[in-house]
Chain A
């Protein structure tokens, strides 16, 4: 089974802090994704990576950056956390080619105080 692991289930940070959310997948998937999930808004794509060191902006990249130095690891960075970034963050991965379903981690619930 594909395993997507997010480093923290719950995280509390203060405004202005630099925050790192980590995601690791163990199935050699090329694509990795970061979403945020908010009630009534569904999942919104923040960033996408299709290869090591390659990234593309999603629908809501403002205030975020990403890093993919190794194929299995995709990090989401909040450069200067703000209260409106309090949310559930979901990482996903899938294979390239054809239509491949995404595999999700269990999420990180981030609170910015």
Chain B
């Protein structure tokens, strides 16, 4: 069975500091990987995705994630965070050939002034 682990439930960080949100997955088949962001009182929005090709993927608002097959990881990074990045971030995987998304338990990023 597939699973997704986000070890950090909360990450406080000061504004303009770098941040890394960790995501590890377990799967016996190939997977596609996603990061979603949830702002307060809203649904989830797609932040970025890895389907194939370059292992480093970027979003329009400065986040990036790198797919590491050997370590089964897809960590999310940003070199300099803003107050507006305060949100909950979910890592998700879709096993190849299925409709199903498996979500991690989420990481609350709190950016401090």
| A residues apposed to B, CB below 8 Å | 4, 9, 31, 33, 40-43, 45, 48, 50, 90, 92, 96, 99, 101-107
Contacts and interface: CB of A to CB of B under 8 A. Distances in A.
A102 B101 contact: yes
A48 B99 contact: yes
Contacts of A92: 43-44
Given A48-B99, A99-B51, A40 B43 contact: no
Greatest chain B CB density within 10 A among A9, A41, A43, A107 is at: A43
Nearest to A58: B100
B90 A43 contact: yes
Contacts of A40: 9, 105
A42 B43 contact: no
A45 B43 contact: no
A36 B104 CA distance: 13
Greatest chain A CB density within 10 A among B34, B36, B101 is at: B101
B45 A104 contact: yes
B63 interface: no
B43 A101 contact: no
Interface of B: 9, 32, 34, 36, 41-46, 49, 51, 90, 94, 99-101, 103-106
Given A4-B43, A104-B44, A99 B32 contact: yes
Nearest to B9: A40
Given A41-B105, A42-B103, A106 B43 contact: yes
Nearest to B6: A42
Contacts of B106: 42
A42 B9 contact: no
Given A40-B9, A105-B43, A50 B90 contact: no
Contacts of A104: 36, 43-45
B92 to A, nearest CB: 8
A50 B99 CA distance: 9
Nearest to A107: B43
Contacts of A48: 99-100
A90 B43 contact: yes
Contact of A101 (B46, B99, B105): B46
